[in-house]
Amino acid sequence: MIVVVAPPARQGRTGGARQALVAVAQLRLMVLSLLFGAGMLVVIAKLALLALWAQPATARDINAGLIPPRGDIVDRNGAPLARTIDAWTIAIHPNQVIGDKAALAQKLAELIPDQTAARYQAILNSGSGFAFLKRRALPELVSAVNALGEPAIEFQREPDRLYPQSTMAAHVLGFIDSNGHGVAGMEKVLEKRLSDPALRSQPVALSIDARVQAAMESELGGAMNTFQARGAAGIVLDVRTGEVMAMVSLPTFNPNAIRGIPPRNNVTQSVYELGSTFKPLAVAGSIDAGLMPSMARRFDATHPLQVGRFRISDDPGDETFRWLTVPEVLIYSSNIATARIADEMGAARMQSLFQRLGFDQRAQIELGDGAKPLWPTYWARTTVMTTAYGHGIAVTPLHLANAYAAMVNGGTLRPATLLKVAPGKEVAGTRVMNEATSRRMRQMLRLIVLKGTGRMGEAKGYRLGGKTGTAEAASAGGYDKGRNVSTFAAAFPIDAPRYVVVAMLDSPQRTATVSRTTAAWTASPVVSRVVSRTGSILGVTPDNSRDIELGDLMPLLWAGPAGTKAAR
């Protein structure tokens, strides 16, 4: 029998190695435990800090994630004008494309014709890590691009600003930049309000009525196309609150697809010499100053008025070149008689009138980027005379609308606003003329539409009162006799004014059927159609049985043949 026994020394070496391994394992376990313990201490300390100083989560914090990152803008009746939606963005990783780049570029050009196939191929060959192919992509396009089967194409969802009415009220709304911040219009004005988590869940209501806005854009755009005008402007203003029911500037732009610099807002950012629309203001200033005690007073318009080297004249017509009563001065739009009235007022009174109406400063409205009027640097005698009929002083159409609102509402000038005013709220203003003067001017504005240059501006049943104005367009260093600015400013119903409507065309051209480019033929029909379409929407019921009382003025009008003068 053979017994094999391991040597004692060898047994010692094996046992020692095992003990060493156990010791290393224990050391490692101890280090791991210490690290784990330190980590737990950090977590406990962090929790303690949060418990001591952190604010508890509120329902508002929880709901903030469910609220769009930018609030909606709506019209006065709640119709959406600007809202934030989830949109698709199509992007690509050019350095990861695995297919035929030339073929892919061709297919992308067919599906997304924003760029050429050559441009798409350049993007694909750029070797960059990321490039946008299309933002604001429709779901149909996303499906079509996805069907190409290229793994390098990526589809993302991101918030996007949508203007569902497209170009409507574009100059009012403005637009946002690629970072989602407002850079123009009410988007810029309301930036803080629209992005406030505590407020953005509630839409902001503008004063604009989308139905009135659409009608004004339609009629003004049609006239601009018909007469091939360079530009146009229109506004509907509540004379009691200063609310802008419609503001139109043409040409316009699409805030959903901004390319380049959008055209300026002609209502607030462009100044014009608005011609004979100033004549009622000058007459109102004369009455208010006590210089016109009787409407029967006559002014000599028998011959042109020579003042130094300047000659002031009227267009010929059956009713011209005679002595005119005060109503006839406006009905026949006499430059000569208006200049004589202004001459009596003098520079101080004329400047004071225009300053009270705000013609020496930017018009007040939220947009804040309005143009400053061109105010005469020196008020010579001729300056006083010509500014009375709208030459030598340039203002925006908004200035004119504000002035007419004050002239017909009892004499109070209120700042215009693009924000909805709560029903029944009293809007403060500044008195700029007497109530008696306002009543008299309402009568004469009505006579201009019934008997004078504003006859084509009448809207049956709505009792308009207004004044046309046609002025030579300003050009470098003077005037362009081949172009004019045609304007009609009106109020309705004139027996109890609610709204002022202004329409202006810049440089209208003759057509095959209309041989004149004066305001009577170009701008006043626009106002007539706008009022006919929107009067009832604005709460004015047409009534052919009512009208303003004109009994004391009718005997002062010439009983001769109807005038043929083109409107100024």
Contact (CB, 8 A) for 204 and 389: no
Helix (H) or strand (E) segment spanning residue 283: helix 279-288
Strand-pairing partners, residue 156, are 89
- The distance in angstroms from the start CA to the end CA of the chain is 142
SS3 for 290-347 is: CCCCCCCCEEECCCCEEECCEEECCCCCCCCCCEEEHHHHHHCCCHHHHHHHHHHHHH
Q: Which long-range contacts (CB under 8 A, 24 or more apart) does 557-563 make?
A: 557/325, 557/327, 557/328, 557/331, 557/447, 557/451, 558/319, 558/322, 558/328, 560/318, 560/319, 561/318, 561/319, 562/318, 563/317, 563/318, 563/319, 563/320, 563/331, 563/332, 563/452
> CA 347 to CA 380: how far, in whole Å?
7
List helix spans (H) across 361-497: 381-387, 397-408, 435-451
> CA 145 to CA 208: how far, in whole Å?
40
> CA 179 to CA 199: how far, in whole Å?
20
Query: Among residues 207, 249, 270, 276, which one is catalytic?
Result: 276
Residue 448's Cα: distance from chain center in Å? 30
SS3 for 175-231 is: EECCCCCEEEHHHHHCHHHHHCCCCCCCCEEECCCHHHHHHHHHHHHHHHHHCCCCE
How many helices (DSSP H) and strands (DSSP E) are in the chain? 17, 18
Please tell me what DSSP assigns to residue 355.
H
Q: How do strand 323-325 and strand 244-250 relate by DSSP bridges?
A: unpaired
276 assigned to active site: yes
CA-nearest of 408, 413, 385 to 398 is 413
State the DSSP string of 96-131. G--S-HHHHHHHHHHH-TTS-HHHHHHHHTS--S-E
Distances (CA, A) of 471 to 105, 278, 310: 55, 11, 17
- Please give the structure tokens belonging to residue 356: 């009270």
CA-nearest of 414, 494, 433, 539 to 77 is 539
CA-nearest of 497, 394, 392 to 439 is 497
Residue type, 547: D
- Please give the structure tokens belonging to residue 565: 């003068």
**Angle at CA 126, nearest 5°, toward 125 and 131?**
110
Contact (CB, 8 A) for 361 and 370: no
State the DSSP string of 514-559. ----SHHHHTHHHHHHHHHHHTTTTT----TT-----TTTGGGS--
Query: What residues act catalytically?
Result: 276
